[in-house]
Structure 1
């Protein structure tokens, strides 16, 4: 029997979260840039900039987490999602709402001033995401670096949606669940009734669908990287169908239960991010160090 898209996504996310052995690529290492920029600490430069930007706009945290997920699950963590062009990954449907590109640009510009041609855009994504996870209440974890940037970015390669812990969703992404689930003219019967009533107030049936709601419906934890989101979907309080399916699908239900019911979330989330950050990385002469994260240095 062919695996559904939802099941495939659920399996991928579940494997990242629970299979934490052998998580690093041999060519990646913690402190890769140490000594490569004189006395300057590349990660400290990134951290300082991210702290300033986070204090001005805390929503960059879910934005960058999502960006890294969408980059790594399409041909590996090679910063291909950053490339501009008429048919690049940026233009694919699932990526149209990915944001934070200007944050990565600002970090790249700053690093290039102090240390030109050394730090890859792929590594900047990984370091910056680590920093906003910590600033959002998640645990500290060490980032392995040494990635190089890829040359190819194709919209047709984009198939997977993102993974969620914090962030928001527009009403038009789930409105059918509230009013016309699977063309029944009724709401999704699996949705918690109190959540259903709350979402209907925030997303009226005839509205434009541009309003946003928190993915984690616990107001005390909506902007904190913790296991609250998993507790919510376990209680049938998932806003997006694909999130709720993680708690219902037999492939990942057990993982959701573990995360929701204890589980050293901060530590394991960090390890999962490190594991994800090592997917199909380019190292050595396999890629390049872009001068601008939005364009490759050489054309073919």
Structure 2
């Protein structure tokens, strides 16, 4: 009950900043499509049970959607010069899960549930499926009608970013430094291609390493160099959290403290006084991480939402009506 009141209070606060949010509500589909959230959750659980990489892909897909044009499912649109055509988005996955849930919802509740809501719910459910907190989020988002590749780079966080660059990007979305550190905890699941971190060190043919980024643990870098040998396949991926790759927990923060963050953008969180204390707090208390995640995820899920006549309910998530 306390948690629900806290989330409602936070939503009301967000609404005072962005009036569009006032048209979102918890259990938005209670009358129009009562089983909507259940059907999305059931789809996520079913697919994830067969492919444990799916939750991480869904969470990453949601991040990439919300940071560009807001949480409006614009990342799902296909076509030349859309967001999906940017190199940063070509490795995204989980699209088929959203499409599967949408097809089912169109059978039982045609023209009712937006792709933007399906994506938000699927990301939420992906975290819960791997042991993370169950987060109540409002629904009622509309789908955007614009998806431009030119919007991706100015809005997306790169793995090579400095802390100042990340703070600037998150701040532009209405997110705080605490949100930045908390939402970076998404890296406790999922995987990354070698080229996302391979510039942090170089290995010669004998396996000797030359460090470009001294913030990474040498033994960890040595393990990574073996998983990502020079001249290896560009499709090779490495799990973000080798300790508990399929469990949503606070192990990510413990890895940061031991200098085993996979990305440069991870490692900078523990070498700056503005964020190091937050990392330590979340590493020492998983409940605190879950509580912080609940609030930060709610803020993420309401970035730039479109409601009423600002968007549409797509029949197919990959194309506008």
Q: TM class, shorter-chain normalised?
A: 0.7 to 0.9
Which residue of the other structure, out of 28, 43, 49, is the alignment partner of 1:32?
28
Q: Note closer, same or farther for the CA distance 1:206–1:23 as it changes in structure 2 (3 Å cut).
A: same
Once residues 14 and 246 of structure 2 are traced to their aligned partners in structure 1, the CA distance between those partners, rounded to angstroms, is 27
- Displacement of 1:118: 0.6
- Counterpart of 1:48 in structure 2 is 42
Is structure 2 residue 187 aligned with structure 1 residue 191?
A: no
Q: Displaced runs of 4+ in structure 1, greater than 6 A?
A: none
Partner of 1:14: none
Q: Distance in 2 between matches of 1:197 and 1:133?
A: 30
**Is the CA contact 1:217–1:237 (under 8 Å) kept in the aligned structure 2?**
no
What's the RMSD between the two structures over aligned residues? 1.9
SS of the equivalent of 1:213 reads strand
Is 1:63 aligned with 2:57? Answer: yes
Give, in whole Å, the separation in 2 of the partners of 1:50 and 1:210. Answer: 24
Paired position in structure 1 for 2:239: 214
Distance 1:197 1:107 in 2: 41
Q: Provide the residue aligned with 1:77 in structure 2.
A: 71
Task: Judge conservation of contact 1:172–1:210 (CA < 8 Å) in 2.
Answer: no
Pairs within 5 Å for 1:217-228: 217-218=242-243, 221-228=244-251
CA deviation map 1:224-270 (0-9, x unaligned) = 11111121122210111122223334443333232223261223212
Distance 1:294 1:45 in 2: 20
How far apart are the structure 2 equivalents of 1:243 and 1:23?
Answer: 28
Q: Report the Cα distance in structure 2 between the residues aligned to 1:208 and 1:51, rounded to whole angstroms.
A: 31
Shift of 1:137: 0.7
Aligned to 1:238: 261
Q: Secondary structure at the match of 1:289?
A: coil
How far apart in 1 are the matches of 2:234 and 2:146?
Answer: 34
Question: Residues of 2 paired with 1:210 and 1:132: CA distance?
Answer: 24
Structure 1 range deviating more: 82-91 or 157-166: 157-166
Task: Output the CA distance in 1 between the equivalents of 2:199 and 2:119.
Answer: 34
The structure that is helix-richer by fraction is 2
Deviations 1:164-210 (A, max 9, x none): 23111122222222217xxxx82232211220221122122342343
Equivalent position to 1:254, from 277, 281, 286: 277
Question: For residues 101-180 of structure 1, what are the structure 2 equivalents within 5 Å?
Answer: 101-159=95-153, 160-161=156-157, 163=184, 164-179=187-202
Name the SS for the 2:78 alignment partner: coil
| TM-score (ref. length: structure 2) | 0.79
What is the TM-score with the length of structure 1 in the denominator?
A: 0.84
Distance 1:105 1:45 in 2: 12
Which stretches in structure 1 are left out of the alignment for 5+ residues?
1-19
Encode CA deviations 1:136-155: one digit per residue, 9 max, x unaligned.
11011112101001110011
Q: Distance in 2 between matches of 1:152 and 1:251?
A: 36
